[in-house]
């Protein structure tokens, strides 16, 4: 009789334990997904995509050229450290890559001049940067106008910074990049009087 009771008790404990684990795992997966991978796009991103669809991209290119010409001679204004360089490269790369989330990085619109300035700042501080070779390799390509590995470049910096969320999965199309620029750098673009895009 005791054996029969223990046998039934054991089966119930195993069943309850299995059910608890299954429910807990399912709930955990649901919460993780909801927390780390937001659904859909923000209204600002949708609006930017619509503007890109209705706009001649040459207008945006002209606006970016104006911003490029007005760019400062320094991208990193404080100490040029590994953290600062990673922050800027990471932030700039966001306009070139697709990721579930884009976090971290200094919010710097990537322009030709800003890339050149950052490249020079990195070279000037080669002796003090632990990951100088990685930064120089990335920026050598970018200075040459080659962004074909920007997703990999992003993930190198993301890895150096201990990234766990927001790994780049691919490059953005030109239209996606323009939409990103319009949604993230609206204030900087609005300062350009000649811009005829209704932001």
Instruction: Give the Cα separation of 39 and 60 in Å (integer).
Output: 28
pLDDT number for residue 47: 63
pLDDT number for residue 100: 87
Q: How far is CA 59 from the centre of its chain?
A: 25
For the chain, what is the HEC assignment?
CHHHHHHHHHHHHHHHHHHHHHHHHHHHHHHHHHHHCCCCCCHHHHHHHHHHHHCCHHHHHHHHHHHHHHCCCCCCCCCCCHHHHHHHHHHHHCCCEEECCCCCCCCCCCCHHHHHHHHHHHHHCHHHCCCHHHHHHHHHHHHCCCCCCHHHHHHHHHHHCCCCCCCEEEECCHHHHHHHHHHHCHHHHHCCCCCCCCC
* Whole-prediction pTM: 0.69
Q: What is the pLDDT of residues 99-137, one digit of tens each?
A: 988 876 667 888 899 999 999 999 999 999 999 999 999
Instruction: Give the Cα separation of 54 and 196 in Å (integer).
Output: 12
pLDDT number for residue 179: 85
pLDDT number for residue 71: 63
Query: Mean pLDDT of all residues in the chain?
Result: 77
Segments of the chain with pLDDT less than 70: 1-57, 59-60, 63, 68-74, 104-106, 193-199
pLDDT number for residue 128: 97
Q: Which of 148, 164, 139 is nearest to 86 (CA)?
A: 139
Rg of the chain taking only CA atoms, in angstroms: 24
Q: What are the φ and ψ backbone dihedral angles of 89, each rounded to 5 degrees? A: -60, -45
109 contacts 191 by C-beta, under 8 angstroms = no
Cα–Cα separations (whole angstroms), residue 102 to 5, 36, 89, 171 = 56, 11, 13, 13
């Amino acid at each position: 009789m005791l054996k029969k009771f223990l046998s039934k008790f054991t089966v119930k404990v195993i069943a309850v334990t299995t059910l608890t684990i299954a429910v807990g795992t399912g709930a955990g997966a649901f919460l993780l997904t909801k927390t780390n991978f937001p659904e859909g796009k923000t209204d600002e991103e949708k609006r930017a995509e619509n503007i890109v669809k209705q706009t001649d991209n040459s207008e945006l290119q002209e606006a970016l050229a104006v911003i490029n010409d007005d760019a400062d001679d320094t991208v990193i204004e404080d100490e040029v450290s590994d953290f600062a360089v990673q922050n800027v490269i990471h932030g700039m790369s966001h306009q070139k890559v697709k990721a579930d989330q884009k976090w971290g990085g200094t919010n710097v619109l990537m322009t030709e001049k800003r890339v050149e300035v950052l490249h020079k700042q990195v070279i000037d501080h080669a002796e003090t940067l632990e990951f100088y070779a990685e930064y120089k390799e990335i920026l050598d390509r970018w200075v040459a106008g080659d962004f074909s590995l920007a997703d990999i470049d992003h993930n190198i910096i993301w890895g150096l910074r201990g990234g766990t969320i927001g790994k780049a999965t691919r490059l953005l199309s030109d239209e996606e990049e323009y939409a990103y620029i319009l949604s993230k750098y609206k204030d900087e673009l609005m300062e350009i009087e000649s811009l005829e895009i209704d932001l």
